[in-house]
Amino acid sequence: MPATVSRGRGRRTINEINMVPFIDVMLVLLIIFMVTAPLITPSVVDLPTIGRANKAPDKKIDITVGRDESLELKVADAKSVRLPLAGVIAAVKQAQDGKPAGSVAVVISADRNVKYESVVNLMNELQKAQVDRVGLAVKTTGTK
């Protein structure tokens, strides 16, 4: 109910917001968040470890993504060949034919300045072609 003020002859209502209930609700929410925040555990990421491969691959296929997003394919010790995406996928499938699953590994090396999307598209196409072992090559820096 609005408050009324009488000045002289007429009564007028005062339009103002009562802030006390608003402050009470905000303090209760603050306390709830302060109590529950430590209980929320951050998401745990289970990172893969190296050195657990069952068997080294019989054959290794290197795919290099250049700065201009061109693809170069190198099978085993052969000379690298520049191919479009469809040609790379066909060559990888051809190299896999007749081999047991997981015996042919594909390693993708990409320039640092290449868009992430182009590497993901390549990995997506390899997954569609049912390539089992795909890895990303990285350059390690020594700590001094």
Report the predicted TM-score, pTM, of the whole model to 2 decimal places: 0.57
**Confidence category of residue 144, pLDDT binned at 50, 70, 90:** very low
So what's the pLDDT on residue 102?
Answer: 66
d(CA 54, CA 91): 25
**Residue 31: helix, strand or coil by DSSP?**
helix
Q: b or e along 28-51 (b: 16 or more beta carbons within 10 Å of the residue's beta carbon)?
A: eeeeeeeeeeeeeeeeeeeeeeee
**Residue 81: helix, strand or coil by DSSP?**
strand
Pairing of strands 59-65, 133-136: unpaired
The domains found in the chain, sorted by start residue, are: 3-38 (no CATH), 59-136 (3.30.420.270)
Greatest alpha-carbon pair distance for the chain in Å reads 104
Q: Which one is predicted more confidently, 112 or 56? A: 112
**Confidence category of residue 133, pLDDT binned at 50, 70, 90:** confident
**Residue 94: helix, strand or coil by DSSP?**
helix
